Structure 1
Amino acid sequence: MLGHVALATYECDNAHKVQWPSSPYLGTKYLVNCRMAHAYFVSGIRQNQYHRVADAAGIGKLGEDYIGEVFSVYKDCVHRKTQESVYDALLEEITLYPETDGIDILTDARHATRKNSRYSDIVCIGAQSHKVLRVETVSREDDPCAQRHELLGTKRLYHYLEQQEGGSVHIRVHCHDRNGSVNKWLRETRHETETTNDTWHAAKNIAKEVRTVCCGSRCMQGKTWHPHLSDKAASIKTHVYWSMKNCEENPETLQHSMMNVIKHYKNNHEHCHPTSRCKTDPAYEPSKTIITDPTAEQLLRQALHRTIIYKNPTDFIHCMDTYFVESFNNIMLQYHDKRTDGSLAYDAYRMRTNIATLDWNENINARTVTSQRDSVDARNPRRVSARRNLRRKNFAFWTELWQEYASQVLA
Structure 2
Amino acid sequence: MPSVIRPDIESLGFSGINKIATTALEDPEVIPLWFGESDIVTPDFIRQAASAAMDGGKTFYSYARGQLPLREALLAYHRRVYGLSLDPDRISVPGATMTSVMITCQCLVRPGDEVILVSPYWPNIRTCVQIMGGHPVDVRLEEGPERWSLDLDRVVRAITPRTRAIYVNTPSNPTGWIMSEEEGRALLDLCRKHGLGLISDEVYHRNVFSGAVAAPSFLTLAEPDEPVFILNGFSKAWAMTGWRIGWMVAPRHLAEPIAVLAEVNTTSAPAFVQYGAIAALEQGEPFLQSFIDRCRINRDLVFQTLGAHPRVELLRPEGAFYAFPRIEGVTDSLALATRILAEAKVGLAPGYTFGEGNQAHLRLCFAIRTERMAMAMERLCAVLDQLD
Q: The TM-score by the shorter chain falls in which range?
A: under 0.3
**Which structure has the greater CA radius of gyration?**
1
Relative to the length of structure 2, the TM-score reads 0.28
Q: Compute the TM-score of the two structures, normalised by the length of structure 1.
A: 0.27
